[in-house]
Amino acid sequence: MTTETTQASTPGYQLSELTKYILRLGTFGFGGPVALVGYMHRDLVEDRKWISETEYKEGLTLAQLMPGPLAAQLAIYLGYVHYGVRGATVVGTAFVLPSFLMVLTLGWAYVRFGGIGWMQAVFYGVGASVIGIISISAYKLTQITLGKQKLLLGIYLASAAATIITESENILLFLGAGFLVLSSRIPWWRRQNATAASVSIQQWMLLASAKAPLSELLTQIAFFFTKAGAFVFGSGLAIVPFLYGGVVKEYAWLNDQEFLDAVAVAMITPGPVVITVGFIGFIVTGREGGFGPGFLGASVAALATFLPCCLFTILPAPYFKKHGKRPGIVAFVDGVTAAAVGAIAGSCVVLGRRTIFTSDGTPEWPKIALLLITVAVLLRFKKLPEPVVVLAAAIIGLAIYPLLH
C-alpha cells in the first residue's frame, strides 16, 4: 500500500520535460481545442504515461465546468497535477506563448500591409483539413470515455444533439449529466460529499475582476476580454459569438470582414483558438499607434482572457486532486465527461457544416475531398505529425483557391 502510494505521488518526469512538450504543442498543435485535448491524451496518457487516465478525466471535467478556453485549462491542470501552482503557471505560459507571438506577428503584418489577402486561400485548404483532424480526435475520445455504459452513451448522444441544434455548449447540461450518473450509481443518503463537491465547484465561478490603470481604450479592452475569459463556458470555439457581439456590435472596434480575418487567424495558427484575442487587441490599438500600442493591446487582451481561466483552474485543483477518486466524484466526473465529449463531437458537425458548405447550403466539393483525404491519410499513417498535414492543406489551398474564385 505504501509503495503504491509513493509511486502514485512521484512523477515519472521532470517539469522541464512537460514544459518542453507543452511548448511544442503550443507551437505545432493545430486543430483547435478538440484536437489539442486529444493530443494531450494521446501523448501524455497513452504514450508517455506521465498522467493517469483518472487525472486526465478530472482535468477535462474541471476544464468543462469552469469558464474559459478548454485546452488551456486542461494544460494548466495537467501542469498542476504533480508540480502544483508552479507547474500550472509554467505550463500555462508555455502553452499560450508560442501562438501569442505568432498572432502578434500576424497582427503587425495585417496593420502594416492593410489586410492579409492570402489568408483566405490558406484557410480554404486548412479549414477542411482541420475538421478531419478534429473528427479523428473526437472519435478517439469517444471510444475512451464511453466504454459499454448505456447511460453514458445516452448522455453523449443527447449532448451531441444539443450542440448540433443550438450550435452552443450549455454548462447546465454538463452539470445535469454529472448528477444523473451520480443518482444512478449512489443512493441519495450517500451523496452528501459528492453534492458538496459539485456545489463548491460553482463557487469558484464568482471570482472575476479586471483593473487596468491604462488609457481608456486599454481599460475597455481589459474589461471586455476579462468578461470573455470569466463568463464564456465551453471550448475556445464558444467564445467566437461573444467576441463578435462585443468587438463588432458593441464597441465597433472591427468590421465584419476584419472579425472574420481574426477568426481565420485563430484557425490557421497552432495553440488555443482563443489566442486570436491577441490579434484583435493588436489591431484595435495598433491601427493608428503602430507596434508599441499594438503590443500593449495584444498583451492586455491576452492577459485579461487567460488570467481568469488560470485562477478558475488552480483554485479548485487541490480539491479535485484530493477527492477526485471518491465514488461520488467519479460518478459525477463520468457524467460530465460523457456530456463534454458529446459536445465536442457535436461541434465537429457544426464546424464541418460551416466549413464545407456555403451560406446557401451548397457543398464545396474540393473542401469535402480535402477533409476525406485528411482522415484517410491520418488513419493510414498514424505517426504522421498533424502539422505536416496542415501545411500540405495550406499549400493546396493557395494553389486551388485562385482557380475557384
Q: Among 12-26, 189-203, 284-298, 387-401, which is the least confidently predicted range?
A: 189-203
C-alpha cell at 332: 459525477
C-alpha cell at 285: 490599438
Higher pLDDT residue, 200 or 121?
121
Q: What local confidence, expressed as pLDDT, does residue 187 receive?
A: 62
Q: What local confidence, expressed as pLDDT, does residue 403 receive?
A: 85
Euclidean distance between CA atoms 233 and 73, whole angstroms: 12
C-alpha cell at 275: 489566442
* 235, pLDDT greater than 60: no
CB atoms within 10 A of CB 195: 15
Q: What local confidence, expressed as pLDDT, does residue 324 receive?
A: 60
Q: What local confidence, expressed as pLDDT, does residue 146 receive?
A: 79
Q: What local confidence, expressed as pLDDT, does residue 233 receive?
A: 55
Please say whether the beta carbons of 67 and 308 come within 8 A.
Answer: yes
Q: What local confidence, expressed as pLDDT, does residue 232 receive?
A: 60
Please say whether the beta carbons of 312 and 205 come within 8 A.
Answer: yes
Ranked by mean pLDDT, the top range of 256-260, 312-316, 353-357 is 312-316
Mean pLDDT within 146-166: 86
Is 163 strand, coil or helix? helix
Percent of the chain with pLDDT over 70: 83
Per residue in 164-212, pLDDT (tens digit) is 887 766 667 878 888 898 888 776 545 444 444 444 433 333 333 333 3
* 239, pLDDT greater than 70: no
* 31, pLDDT greater than 80: no
Whether the model pTM is above 0.95: no
Euclidean distance between CA atoms 32 and 255, whole angstroms: 24
Q: Among 41-55, 114-128, 170-184, which is the least confidently predicted range?
A: 114-128
Q: What local confidence, expressed as pLDDT, does residue 97 receive?
A: 93
DSSP output for 182-217: HHHHS-GGG-HHHHHHHHHHHHGGG-------S-HH
Is 357 strand, coil or helix? strand
Q: Is residue 368 within a helix (H) or strand (E), and if so which, with residue range?
A: helix 365-380
